[in-house]
Amino acid sequence: MRASLKQFASLAILGIALSACSTVDRLERVGDLPKLAPVADARQPSYMPQAIPMPQPQSQTSAAGSLWRPAARSFFRDPRASHVGDILTVNVSIADAAQISNSTARSRKNSDDANLTNFFGLESSLTKVLPAAADPTSLVSMGSDTSNTGAGSVNRSESINLTLAAVVAQVLQNGNLVITGHQQVRVNGELRDLQVSGIVRPEDITNGNTVALSQIAEARISYGGKGTISDVQQPRWGSEVYDALMPF
C-alpha cells in the first residue's frame, strides 16, 4: 500500500512538473508568432551553414572539339534532377475514400434430456444408487442458449493538394533518387508545416522536372501546424492521460 502511494505521488509530481513546463513555454510565447525554421540566408545574424547534400565536384574536361559533356544523360542539357543537391517539384495529390460496413450475428441453442423409465426392471433400484430425489422419468435435463451480435462501419474521406520543392539527398546504387523537402508557411499567426521524403525513379521525373506522389516509393508526408488555432484543437495532456488510464 505504501509503495502504491509513493508511485502515485511520483506520478503526481511528474504531472505537475510537465504541466509547469508546458505552462511556462506557453507563457513565453504569449504575443509571439510561431517561429519559422532557419533558412540559408547569410545576411541574417543567426545564419547557420545548412547541411544540404551536395554532389562531388566533377571534372568538366572533354576531348578537343567534342560537344559531349561529362556525366551528361543526353546530347542536350537535361533539366531533370539527377544528382545530389538537385531540386525537383513534388505534386502531392491525395484523394482517398474508404467505406466499409460489417455485420455479424451468431446464435446457438442446445437442449439435452435423459430418462430411464424401463431398464430390465432395475429402474426401481436407482434410488439405492442415486439420491432419493432422483426421478427415472427425468434423470438429466440440460440446456444452453448463446448469442453474439456485432456491427462495425468505417467511412473515411481525405483530400490534399499541395506542391513543394524537394532536394535530392542521395543517389542509390541502382540510380534511384532519395528526395527530401520541407516547406513552412505562416499566415495570421498560424504556421503550416509540410514535409515530404521518399525514393524516386529518374524515369518517373517529367520533362518539367516534376514528380507525382503516386510515383514516390516509401513516401512519407507530414502536414501539420502550430499556432493558436492548433493549440485549441489539441486536447490537454491531462485529458489524454485520463482517457488512457480510465478502464471504463
148 shares its domain with 166: no
pLDDT score of 37: 65
218 shares its domain with 147: no
110 shares its domain with 164: no
6 shares its domain with 125: no
Q: Which of 134, 153, 172 is at the close of a domain?
A: 153
Query: Domain tally for the chain?
Result: 3
Three-point CA angle 166, 170, 171, nearest 5°: 115
Asked if residue 202 has pLDDT above 50, the reply is yes
For the record, the C-alpha cell of 247 comes out as 478502464
Is the distance from CB of 85 to CB of 55 less than 8 angstroms? yes
Residue 107 falls inside a structural domain: yes
166 shares its domain with 94: yes
132 shares its domain with 205: no
β-strand pairing of 190-200 with 216-226:
antiparallel
Residue 93 falls inside a structural domain: yes
Residue 60 falls inside a structural domain: no
Give mean pLDDT, residues 74-86.
78
**Residue 227 zone, left/alpha/beta (φ > 0; ψ -120 to 50; rest):** left
Bridge partners of 144, per DSSP, are: 110
111 shares its domain with 180: no
The runs of H, that is alpha helices, within the chain are 2-28, 126-129, 228-233, 237-245
pLDDT tens per residue across span 28-58: 666 566 666 655 444 445 545 545 555 565 5
pLDDT score of 23: 63
pTM of the model: 0.53
Contacts with 96 (C-beta within 8 Å, 6 or more apart), sequence order: 156, 157, 158, 159
Residue 57 falls inside a structural domain: no
User: How many Å apart are CA 197 and CA 183, to the nearest integer?
Assistant: 12
210 shares its domain with 166: yes
Residue 225 falls inside a structural domain: yes
Domain that holds residue 238: 87-99+158-245
Residue 70 falls inside a structural domain: no
Task: Please give the DSSP secondary-structure letter assigned to residue 124.
Answer: G
195 shares its domain with 91: yes
Residue 65 falls inside a structural domain: no
pLDDT tens per residue across span 113-167: 877 777 777 767 776 777 777 777 777 788 888 888 888 888 888 788 889 999 9
pLDDT score of 167: 92
2 shares its domain with 114: no
Residue 64 falls inside a structural domain: no
Task: Please give the DSSP secondary-structure letter assigned to residue 221.
Answer: E
Buried b (16+ CB within 10 A) or exposed e, 80-105: bbbebebebbbebeeeeeeeeeeeee
Is the distance from CB of 185 to CB of 137 less than 8 angstroms? no
CA nearest 15: which of 170, 224, 241? Answer: 241
Contacts with 172 (C-beta within 8 Å, 6 or more apart), sequence order: 178, 199
174 shares its domain with 91: yes
User: How many Å apart are CA 16 and CA 201, to the nearest integer?
Assistant: 51
123 shares its domain with 13: no
